[in-house]
Structure 1
Amino acid sequence: MSPSPLPSLGLIGLGAFGAFARPHLEKLFTVHGHDPARPGGATLAEAAGQPVVVLAVPVARLAEAARAIAPHLRPGALVVEVCSLKVRPLATLRALLPAHVEILGTHPLFGPQSGREGIAGLRLVLCPGTGARGRLAGRMLRRLGLEVVVMTPEAHDRQMAWVQGLTHLLGRVVAGLEMPPLPHTTSSFDQLMRATAMVSQDSEALFRTITEDNPFVEEVKAQLRERMAAVLGAPPAALAA
C-alpha cells in the first residue's frame, strides 16, 4: 500500500525566513511556494487556495499580503502568520480576511541563524484562535521537534519587548562601536560578540518592527536610558537626544 499523500500548504513569501522554513514544512506538507520576487513557483491563487496558508512576510507587508490572498482563500482554511509581533498582525488579519477562515498566530523564536543546525528543541509561540485547525497545527509543529508554548498575543508582545527589543537595541549599539583589532579576548566578550553577530544578520525592517512597532518596547527604552545614564554619569536627556 502506497503512503498517504501529504496535506497541502501554501507558503506566501520565500525570503530569508520563508526559504529557511520551507524544507522543514516539507516534512509535513506538500508546499506550494509563492513569491513575486522569485518567479517559477506557484501562482498566488494556487498557494492561497490551499487548506493551510502561511504568510512569511514582514509586518510592514502583512496587510498587502492579506488583501492579495483574501479572494482566493477557501472556506475553513487556516491562515498562519509568523511575525515577531502578535497583537497588531492578528488584528490586521481579522480585519482583512474573510470570516470563513481560521487565523493562527505563531512566532518561531529562532531564525536562519539560530536554526541553521536544526530546529529540534527550539521554541515556537502559538497564539491560537478557537478553531480545531489551530489546535491540530500545534500538534503537527511538535512533530518537528519544536517546543510549542501557548500564549495570548498581548502576553507575547510584552515578553518580546524585553527578549527581542533589548537584545536588538544592545546589539545595534555594540555593532556600531568602532573597535580596534582585539586579538586577545575573554569568554564573556566572545559571547557578547556572538550575540551581537546573530542579531546583526537581521534585516533593517525586522529591527524596526521589533524596536518601534511593539508599543511595550517604550518601557524597555526608558529603563535602558536611565541605567545607561547612571552607568555613564550622563543625564538621561542627553542619551535620548
Structure 2
Amino acid sequence: MGVIGFGRFGKLLVRYLSPDFRISVFDKDDKTKEINEIGASVLGFSDVCKKSMVIICVPISEFEKTLVDMKNHLAKNTLVVDVCSVKEYPVKMMKEILPDDVQILATHPMFGPDSASDSLNGRKLVLCKERINDRQYEKIKEYLTRKSLKIIETNPEEHDRQIANTLVLPHFIGRTLMEMDAKNHEIDTEGYKRLLKILGVVQNDTSQLFLDMNRYNRFAKDVRENFMDALDTVNKKIN
C-alpha cells in the first residue's frame, strides 16, 4: 500500500494501518525518521504510485495536481483512495484525470488526529463506491468493520450537502470564536464551555483545511449565508 502525504492525518492513517499492511510513504518533505518510527518505509513518488492501493492524503487544493503527477505511474487496476472532507470535487477530478483502468474509492474518515488519537472504536467513515469491483469493495468494508469503524455508504452529493451543515458550520463558528479570542473565564456557564469545545475542535486544524472545505463544497456558501442571516435576524430582534 502507498500513501501520498504525511501530514497530521496521513500520520494517523499510517499508524493505524501499519500493523496490518506494508506501507510505503511519499511526502514532499523529508520525514524519514518519523515515518520509520511508526512502521512504514519511505519511497519516491513514482514508486509509491506503483503500489496496488494508493491513498492520497494531501490538502484538497493540492489534489488535482497530485492526480496529474501520478496518473502515468499507476498500473492497471490500481485502487486510488482519497480522504478529502468534500466528495464531489475529488470524485470528479479522479474520474477526469485518472486512466479508465484505475479503480476509485472515495472516502471521508469522520475523525482526525485529535478525536481518534487513542482508538477508532465507533468512529464513522464515509464510503462512496465510485469505480471499484464488488469483491474488493466488500473486502475493504469487512476490514474497516473489524477495526470497529461505523461505515456510512452514500453518494458524493449527499455527503457534501450534509457535511456543509455538520462540519463546515461548526468550523465556521469555531474560527469566528478564534477571531474573537474567546477564552476561559472563572465565571462561566455550561453553554459557554460547549462553545469553547467547538473552538478546541478546530484550533489544531490548518487554515488551509478550513478554506478548502468551504471553497470546494458547493453547499457551504448557502449554509454560511443562512447562518449569517439568522444571526442578523436575532440581532435585529434585540435592537
Q: How does the TM-score come out when normalised to structure 2?
A: 0.89
Match of 1:54 in 2: 55
After TM superposition, give the deviation of residue 145 of structure 1 in Å: 1.2
Task: Give, in whole Å, the separation in 2 of the partners of 1:213 and 1:148.
Answer: 24
User: Alignment partner of 1:107: what SS?
Assistant: strand
Task: Give, in whole Å, the separation in 1 of the partners of 2:69 and 2:19.
Answer: 27
Match of 1:38 in 2: 30
Match of 1:223 in 2: 226
Task: Give, in whole Å, the separation in 2 of the partners of 1:192 and 1:179.
Answer: 9
Unaligned runs of 5+ in 1: 1-8, 235-241
Q: Is the 8 A contact 2:126 2:154 kept in 1?
A: yes
Q: Map of 1:74-113 to 2, 5 A cutoff? A: 74-113=75-114
User: Alignment partner of 1:227: what SS?
Assistant: helix
User: Alignment partner of 1:136: what SS?
Assistant: helix
Match of 1:183 in 2: 186
- Specify which of 196, 200, 224 is matched with residue 197 of structure 1: 200
Match of 2:161 in 1: 158
Q: Is the 8 A contact 2:183 2:196 kept in 1?
A: no
Alignment length (residue pairs): 226
User: Alignment partner of 1:184: what SS?
Assistant: coil
Q: Is the 8 A contact 2:173 2:198 kept in 1?
A: no
Task: Give, in whole Å, the separation in 1 of the partners of 2:21 and 2:226.
Answer: 44
Q: Is the 8 A contact 1:169 1:211 kept in 2?
A: no
- Specify which of 9, 13, 20 is matched with residue 17 of structure 1: 9
Match of 1:237 in 2: none
- Percentage of pairs with the same residue: 28
Match of 1:71 in 2: 72
Unaligned runs of 5+ in 2: 33-41
Q: Map of 1:139-158 to 2, 5 A cutoff? A: 139-158=142-161
The 10-residue stretch of structure 1 (152-161 or 217-226) with the greater mean CA deviation from structure 2: 217-226
Residue 38 to residue 135, structure 1, CA distance change in 2 (3 Å): farther
2:170 equivalent to 1:167: yes
Q: Is the 8 A contact 1:168 1:211 kept in 2?
A: no
How big is the alpha-carbon RMSD for the aligned residues of Structure 1 and Structure 2?
A: 1.6
Match of 2:217 in 1: 214
After TM superposition, give the deviation of residue 224 of structure 1 in Å: 0.8
Match of 2:38 in 1: none
After TM superposition, give the deviation of residue 181 of structure 1 in Å: 6.1
The 10-residue stretch of structure 1 (122-131 or 104-113) with the greater mean CA deviation from structure 2: 122-131
Q: Is the 8 A contact 2:175 2:199 kept in 1?
A: yes
